[in-house]
Structure 1
Amino acid sequence: MKKTSLDWDKLRVFGVVAELKSLTAAGKRLGESTPTVSRKIDELEKMLGCGLFNRTTKGVELTEAGREVQRRTRAMSDSANDIINTVSDLDLEGTGSLRFSGQDGVASHWLARLIPQFQDERPGVDLDFQIADRDADLAAGDADLSITFSEPRQRDILSIRLGVLHYMFFATMDYLDGRTAPASLYDLQGHDVLIHDAYSYQIENWSSRAVDLKKAIRFKLQTNSGTVLREICAAGGGIAVMPSYVVELDPRLVALDLQEVAPIQFWLTYTPRMQRLSHGRQFIDWTRKQFSNEKSPWFQDTFVHPNQFDKYARRDR
């Protein structure tokens, strides 16, 4: 039997088709036409002397031979990536670059103000700190690390649960002056209530209290910016739904005597390469500490009302 060298490009195409179970979807991801993808699969099957897929009305399904080829191509891909990562990881201890991504909120308001501490401790690390309107796809190379509000399910993406954000109500003393402070969610009717777009869209997934809130009141203002939300509230523009930690960031704000609206978990996600790199591990450990109970009370599982601390308690009570 004549020996034939395998075509790496055709194996790459096979891997995408096997993952997506569709020639058309694979073509879109690869930037190739469906007929071109189909031709490469046909040529690979001819080269191997066996069928790799069964065509169905819903797409394609792997044959037994196809599943074996998929297993081996994954192993080959992992080995190739190990070569790249092992060589690139031969950096100087504690130096290198990191690409971090997070959404508007805890990344931009809580973590960003602490970054100079990390830079002072690790002067050899260059950080690219990006704020995006969606979770970064680490598997696709969008970033090396990211703060997300859902636990990752992708293969080979690691994560650490950082804590819980507790959403509650804030206002200013100027706004409350001459008004009756709400004692329940239903007392918010008639008040100017402010909210972030992302919170508004997520309310149905939060809790029964949050759903009741949406039914009971009309939001005076919605914005896609956490900074805008905080500034309008701090200027006396109304009562805003924000995470409990903002009381530590802005002395103009006072926490209302209401329970939290919703607890939302969040994670630090990162690639295996970051776990191997010394400066990657340093950033992971440092970030985890910024949300620890020892560092701050705002991110623990149990809601802690700011009024439990004298310096954050309202003085008019």
Structure 2
Amino acid sequence: MDWDKLRIFHAVADAGSLTHAGDVLHLSQSAVSRQIRALEESLNTTLFHRHARGLILTEQGELLFDATAAMNKRLDAAAARIRDSEEEVFGELRVTTAIGFGTLWLAPRLAKLYEQYPDLNIDLMLEERVLDLPMREADVAIRMKEPSQADLIRKRLMSVRMRLYASRKYIEAHGEPTSLSDLSAHRLICQNVNSEQVGAGANFVTSLLANDVSKMLYVNNYYGVLQAVRNDLGIGVLPNYLMQDFPDLVRILDEVESSEVPVYLAYPEELRQSKRIAAFRDFVQEEIISHRKQLRDKENR
């Protein structure tokens, strides 16, 4: 099958328009149209439904688009490996992690990485959905559980626990709980147990709600929970990695916490030699070592 025709087909399917695809490919609309017709004739099928609003893939077109999308991702991976054969660390690195960890722990530390590698460009994709690393939806991931996908190199970075925190101003105004039963007199700020989150966090919230907690504020990520806690709205369920960067938070009920949440860094086997990933991996590990040391120093004071 002619790769040029497949490349043009993919551009048209992605753009939904012959004109827009032609602009991307620097070809005329008529040239693009001829290539699509020739491809349809060679396959003896119709790939697009044509109507006034643009082009829509047929069922056969969808099958072909899935194949060309996979091919493009493999080509991107090959190009990344070729670029990574150079000595310098440069270019784009797509990093995916959860909203809370990415916003509250990772992003504030990236300035140090840029100081070391000013030509490295991070595309930080923050979402709870697990992106497909082997299919090149991202280059490297930091996940709050061990990845289950095959063909991934994975390294355990640290462990996290969910705990209860409040602001000093809130405690001064409403008092500090001394037992779980005291939570019934306070507003609990947390993620809804049905929202997408690590199981340990959801189980922890479920156990807290068993204490006749009636006043609630649900937020669908830890960044929002943190902002509500720091603005004196109640007692929040937050990951313990925040204590280093937000020393104004006061831990409530020191013996109460979730089960352990493992944090893993993972990337595709085919990017094992990537200097960009090695630079990012080493940076994260160094920051975690520093993070642990500061927490130990604080606890020993």
Shorter-chain TM-score range: 0.5 to 0.7
Measured after TM superposition, the shift of residue 254 of structure 1 is 1.4
Q: 1:219 and 1:102, CA in 2 relative to 1: closer, same or farther beyond 3 A?
A: farther
Structure 1 SS opposite 2:163: strand
Measured after TM superposition, the shift of residue 273 of structure 1 is 3.9
Q: Partners of 2:93 and 2:273 in 1: how far apart?
A: 13
Q: 1:80 and 1:166, CA in 2 relative to 1: closer, same or farther beyond 3 A?
A: closer
Q: Work out which of the residue numbers 175, 179, 182 in structure 1 matches 2:174.
A: 179
Task: Please report the TM-score for the alignment, with normalisation by the length of structure 2.
Answer: 0.66
Measured after TM superposition, the shift of residue 209 of structure 1 is 5.9
Q: What is the correspondence of 1:66-81 to structure 2 with a 5 Å cutoff?
A: none
Of 121-130 and 88-97, more deviation after overlay is shown by 88-97
Q: Work out which of the residue numbers 120, 123, 134 in structure 2 matches 1:139.
A: 134
Structure 2 SS opposite 1:138: coil
Q: 1:199 and 1:162, CA in 2 relative to 1: closer, same or farther beyond 3 A?
A: farther
Paired residue for 1:262?
259
Structure 1 SS opposite 2:272: helix
Q: 1:106 and 1:148, CA in 2 relative to 1: closer, same or farther beyond 3 A?
A: same
Measured after TM superposition, the shift of residue 141 of structure 1 is 1.5
Q: Partners of 1:105 and 1:86 in 2: how far apart?
A: 30
Paired residue for 1:151?
146
Q: What is the correspondence of 1:265-304 to structure 2 with a 5 Å cutoff?
A: 265-292=262-289, 294-296=290-292
**Letter matched to residue 276 of structure 1:** Q
**Letter matched to residue 265 of structure 1:** P
Q: Partners of 1:117 and 1:149 in 2: how far apart?
A: 23
Structure 2 SS opposite 1:245: helix
Q: Is the CA contact (8 Å cut-off) linking 2:158 and 2:263 kept in structure 1?
A: yes
Of 92-101 and 142-151, more deviation after overlay is shown by 92-101
Measured after TM superposition, the shift of residue 190 of structure 1 is 1.6
Residues 154-190 of structure 1 deviation map (CA, whole Å, 9 limit, x = unaligned):
2211111111112111111221125341122222112
Measured after TM superposition, the shift of residue 142 of structure 1 is 1.2
Measured after TM superposition, the shift of residue 234 of structure 1 is 0.9
Q: Is the CA contact (8 Å cut-off) linking 1:245 and 1:298 kept in structure 2?
A: no
**Letter matched to residue 289 of structure 1:** E
Paired residue for 2:214?
218
Paired residue for 1:24?
none
Q: Partners of 2:180 and 2:208 in 1: how far apart?
A: 6
CA RMSD of aligned residues (A): 3.4
> Structure 1 residue 168 and structure 2 residue 159: aligned?
no
Q: Partners of 2:85 and 2:221 in 1: how far apart?
A: 40
Paired residue for 1:125?
120
Q: 1:150 and 1:32, CA in 2 relative to 1: closer, same or farther beyond 3 A?
A: farther
**Letter matched to residue 284 of structure 1:** R
Q: Is the CA contact (8 Å cut-off) linking 2:165 and 2:237 kept in structure 1?
A: yes
Q: 1:129 and 1:209, CA in 2 relative to 1: closer, same or farther beyond 3 A?
A: closer
Q: Work out which of the residue numbers 291, 298, 308 in structure 1 matches 2:299.
A: 308
Q: Is the CA contact (8 Å cut-off) linking 2:81 and 2:274 kept in structure 1?
A: no
What fraction of aligned residue pairs are identical, expressed as a percent?
Answer: 21
Q: Partners of 2:102 and 2:246 in 1: how far apart?
A: 16
> How many pairs align?
234
Q: What is the correspondence of 1:77-88 to structure 2 with a 5 Å cutoff?
A: 87-88=82-83
Paired residue for 1:253?
249
Q: Is the CA contact (8 Å cut-off) linking 2:161 and 2:240 kept in structure 1?
A: yes
> Structure 1 residue 95 and structure 2 residue 86: aligned?
no
Q: 1:280 and 1:308, CA in 2 relative to 1: closer, same or farther beyond 3 A?
A: closer
Q: Is the CA contact (8 Å cut-off) linking 1:162 and 1:288 kept in structure 2?
A: yes
Question: Unmatched 5+ residue regions in structure 1?
Answer: 1-8, 10-30, 38-78, 311-317
Structure 2 SS opposite 1:228: helix
Q: Partners of 1:187 and 1:278 in 2: how far apart?
A: 52
Question: Unmatched 5+ residue regions in structure 2?
Answer: 1-5, 7-56, 64-73
Structure 2 SS opposite 1:140: coil
Measured after TM superposition, the shift of residue 206 of structure 1 is 5.4
